[in-house]
Structure formats: structure tokens, C-alpha cells
Amino acid sequence: MKNNLFWALLFLTGCAGLSRDCSSCTAESLGSDWLVAQYGYDGKPINCYQLENVSISNEKSSDGIYWEDSNGNLVHISGWYERVQVSHYKWEAAAKTLRVKLEDCQK
């Protein structure tokens, strides 16, 4: 009985991790909706980006990320930032998570 419980819990934990990994891989490869906030040294937001159907990638050997904006420019940021993958157009909820006002974000 204990052995079956162990395997059941291991399987359920593995599925949750697999789902997260698949979502991350799909968002990086195919694009997704993102809200990205960049913070100054005082912890206050200095930039905010509302990105629709964009692929964000991590820079190698860096703490930075980059993406291509709607004008074809490659945007790089590093330092203190947070990003939220927005699901089902819940932009306001994502803004609340990052402690920013959605109207202050660049599109």
C-alpha cells in the first residue's frame, strides 16, 4: 500500500513539473503574452513592457533577457526585473503580481 502511494505521489509531482516545463518551452519557442517589469536599485519600477505574442529568451552567461518588439528592434534588459506569462488576457492580474500599473506599461 505504501509503495503504491509513493509512486502515485511521484507521478503527480512529475506531471505538474512537466506541464510547467512544456508551457515554458512553448512560450519561449512560439511566443506568448508577457508583462515584464524592470526595477531600479530602490525597488521601484522604472520600465514596464506589455508584450503580446512575443518570445522571450534568456541571454547566455547573463542575468538578462531579450525579445523582438513590434518594430523589429531587439530589446535587451538585465538587472532587477520580473516577468509574468499572461494567461487568458488577465493583464490586470499580471500587473498586480508585479506591483505596477498596467497603464504605465509600454506596448
- Residue-wise pLDDT for 33-67, tens only, equals 999 999 999 999 999 999 999 999 999 888 999 99
pLDDT at 107 over 90: no
Q: Please tell me whether residues 8 and 36 are part of one structural domain.
A: no
In this structure, the answer to whether residues 22 and 35 fall within a common structural domain is no
Q: Total structural domains in the chain?
A: 2
Same domain, 89 and 72: yes
The answer to whether residues 25 and 35 belong to one domain is no
Cross-strand pairs, 48: 37
Q: Are residues 49 and 95 in the same domain?
A: yes
* Position with higher pLDDT, 5 vs 42: 42
How would you label 17-54 residue by residue, b for 16+ Cβ within 10 Å and e otherwise?
eeeeeeeeeebeeebbbbbbbbbeeeeebebbbbbeeb
Q: Which domain holds residue 25?
A: 1-29
The answer to whether residues 86 and 35 touch, using CB atoms and an 8 Å cutoff, is: yes
Region 24-38: mean pLDDT is 74
- Output the CA–CA distances (angstroms, integers) from residue 32 to 2, 25, 76, 89, 103, in the order listed: 41, 11, 17, 11, 20
Give the residue, 29 or 85, on which the prediction is more confident. 85
Same domain, 24 and 76: no
Same domain, 47 and 91: yes
CATH code assigned at 73: 2.30.30
105 to 26, 60, 99: CA distances (angstroms): 24, 26, 12
Q: Is 36 in the same domain as 19?
A: no
Residues 67, 19 share a domain: no
For the chain, strand residue ranges (E) read 32-39, 45-54, 57-58, 65-68, 74-77, 80-86
Say whether both 15 and 45 belong to one domain. no
